[in-house]
Amino acid sequence: WAQDAARNDSGQLTVGGIPVSELQQQYGTPLFVMSEDDFRARARAFSDAFNNAFADICGGVDVYYAGKSFLCTAVVRWVEEEGLRLDTASGGELAVAAKAGIPGADVALHGNNKSDREIHRALDMKLGRIVVDSLGELVRVGDIAQRRGEQAKVMLRLTPGVHAHTHEFIATAHEDQKFGLSMAADTTEQAGLSAAEEAVAAASAHPGIELLGLHCHIGSQIFEPDGFALAAQKLLRFLAAMQEKYSIVLPELDLGGGYGIAYTPVDTPRPASEIAEAMAAVVRSTCAELGIDSPRISIEPGRAIVGSTTFTLYEVGTLKTVRVDAPAADASDAGNNVTYPRRYVSVDGGMSDNARPVLYDADYSAILASRTSAAGPQLSRVVGKHCESGDIVVRDVYLPEDVAAGDLLAVPGTGAYCWALSSNYNYLARPGVVAVRDGSARLIVRGETEEDLLNRDMGV
């Protein structure tokens, strides 16, 4: 939950003091309700945690907010005002950055398949860094920049063989994925040579490229610092070896994003300060062991900044209760099924505004937001209105027995990868996003109308 979300005296959920019923009246549902104050506070807190931990190592950390998690021009301005930079992953995201007016020097561009147009756009905007994902792309970026009489500022994305899988990480070579340059030997035509080293050599020799340093990203929704620390250590060792072998200086190291948040009470991510300290300890000791100065460190958090700032407001429609047959929980009772009721609570959105339950089996929670209730709890499944039985918003949640059509539900933790992944499935219009600051609300992204959708139908 956003820090300024709370129930008022009449039991209604409010954000920055504004009751959800007012938001519904003004903007309709479904609606993404975002606390700008909370966003700014989290951006500052995250940035402070890392800057404090790394202050004596490399003078601090550059924090690039990962725009893929949620992006619009308002957010770009908040990010900039709070002293963060911006990470983008496509020409479209660059267009938002440009529209918001953030200096190109504070923007990074990612992507495993950048088009020439995107590369030109990055150069037009004089981006601070283009994160190159493959050797072919490196040559393409270098050649385009050279033809323009420029040098592209490039980071190389490496796969350090540390792959975070949800709450854990697997420290084995995770090469079988589309991103990045492998650090494993023999991943090129030349015996013993890794793709990563081949790219370092090619980048430092290319007249169209200024090689800034190395990058990695080990996964997302990670709770523990170990994976980040191990990746940092591997990249530092490689960086030192490359500096020595090619007599170059690689002044920057980006350790990516992936810092997790709590969606439900079972999620227990470590606080940013703890993760930052653990990473800093490893960077400090590895640099000492290698006898090098630490490169400037940067990170790319998305979810950890925006995820908890937002809840989705839905209106309840249809309800039905079924009886579920399930194996008895008690082993001595094996073979005897128990039955229990499950109530389906349908809301006016669903997988089109939150694809994460369907895509990743993600868990969320929900509360009755428009009022409190003295009624007892009932096991409920919050579902959407799409033509799929998998269209689940919250798999299992206890909601008051008297929840009825017209009630409002709020699902917290929907700031990251919900609006961003939204679709028009079943011709549903994508919801708008409202930002609340200092007790007043404003639309930062307008919801789509039926007309928006029909306008794209050529009618021929």
Q: Is 66 in the site for ligand LLP (CB under 6 A)?
A: yes
Cβ atoms of 5 and 296 closer than 8 Å: no
* Structure tokens, 127: 């981006």
- Residues involved in catalysis: 387
Residues that contact ligand LLP, how many (by CB under 6 A): 21
Residue 117 CB burial class (10 angstroms; 0-12, 13-18, ≥19): exposed
Whose Cβ is closer to ligand LLP: residue 129's or residue 437's?
A: 129
> Is residue 344 annotated as involved in ligand binding?
no
> Is residue 246 annotated as involved in ligand binding?
no
The rounded radius of gyration (Å) of the Cα atoms in the chain is: 24
* Local structure of 139: helix, strand or coil: helix
Judged by CB under 6 A, the chain residues 294 through 333 that form the site for ligand LLP are: 300-304
Cβ atoms of 171 and 231 closer than 8 Å: no
42-81 as b/e: b if 16+ CB within 10 A: bbebbbbbbbebbeebbebbbbbbbbbbbbbbbbbebbbe
Judged by CB under 6 A, the chain residues 99 through 128 that form the site for ligand LLP are: 110
Whose Cβ is closer to ligand LLP: residue 61's or residue 403's?
A: 61
* Structure tokens, 59: 């003078």
Query: In the bound complex, what is the minimum distance in angstroms from residue 449's beta carbon to ligand LLP?
Result: 27
Site pattern 352..371 for ligand LLP (x: CB under 6 A) = ----x---x-----------
Judged by CB under 6 A, the chain residues 255 through 294 that form the site for ligand LLP are: 256-259
Q: Is 69 in the site for ligand LLP (CB under 6 A)?
A: yes
Whose Cβ is closer to ligand LLP: residue 27's or residue 223's?
A: 223
> Is residue 364 annotated as involved in ligand binding?
no
Window contacting ligand LLP (CB under 6 A); options: 165-173, 235-243, 250-258, 430-438:
250-258
Q: Which residue has the tokens 């983008």?
A: 88
Q: Is 393 in the site for ligand LLP (CB under 6 A)?
A: no
Q: Which of 208, 417, 430, 437 binds ligand LLP (CB under 6 A)?
A: 417
- Provide DSSP, 185-250: TT-SSSTT--HHHHHHHHHHH-TTEEEEEEE----SSB--SHHHHHHHHHHHHHHHHHHHHHT---
Site pattern 179..208 for ligand LLP (x: CB under 6 A) = ------------------------------
Whose Cβ is closer to ligand LLP: residue 35's or residue 414's?
A: 414
Cβ atoms of 7 and 429 closer than 8 Å: no
* Structure tokens, 440: 């007043």
Query: In the bound complex, what is the minimum distance in angstroms from residue 234's beta carbon to ligand LLP?
Result: 16
Query: In the bound complex, what is the minimum distance in angstroms from residue 417's beta carbon to ligand LLP?
Result: 3
Question: Identity (one letter) of the amino acid at 341?
Answer: P
Query: In the bound complex, what is the minimum distance in angstroms from residue 57's beta carbon to ligand LLP?
Result: 21
Whose Cβ is closer to ligand LLP: residue 68's or residue 296's?
A: 68
* Local structure of 23: helix, strand or coil: helix
Task: List all residues 6 or more positions away from 48 whose beta carbon is below 8 Å from its beta carbon.
Answer: none
- Measure the N-to-C terminal CA separation of the chain; round to a whole number of Å: 47
Q: Is 50 in the site for ligand LLP (CB under 6 A)?
A: no
DSSP 27: H
Q: From the CB of residue 343, how many other CB atoms can be counted at a distance below 10 Å?
A: 16
> Is residue 300 annotated as involved in ligand binding?
yes
Please give the Cα distance from 264 to 429 (Å, whole number): 28
Window contacting ligand LLP (CB under 6 A); options: 7-15, 184-192, 251-259, 380-388:
251-259
Query: In the bound complex, what is the minimum distance in angstroms from residue 377's beta carbon to ligand LLP?
Result: 29
Whose Cβ is closer to ligand LLP: residue 177's or residue 247's?
A: 177
Please give the Cα distance from 167 to 230 (Å, whole number): 15
Q: Is 422 in the site for ligand LLP (CB under 6 A)?
A: no
- Count, in order, helices (H) and strands (E) of the chain: 12, 23
Give me the helices (H) in 372-436, please: none
* Structure tokens, 98: 């440009």
Whose Cβ is closer to ligand LLP: residue 269's or residue 447's?
A: 269
Site pattern 215..234 for ligand LLP (x: CB under 6 A) = --x--xx-------------
Query: In the bound complex, what is the minimum distance in angstroms from residue 244's beta carbon to ligand LLP?
Result: 27
Residues making up the binding site: 258, 300-303, 356, 360, 388, 417
Annotated binding site for pyridoxal 5'-phosphate: 258, 300-303, 417
- Note the residues at the interface with ligand LLP (CB under 6 A): 66, 68-69, 87, 110, 217, 220-221, 256-259, 300-304, 356, 360, 416-417
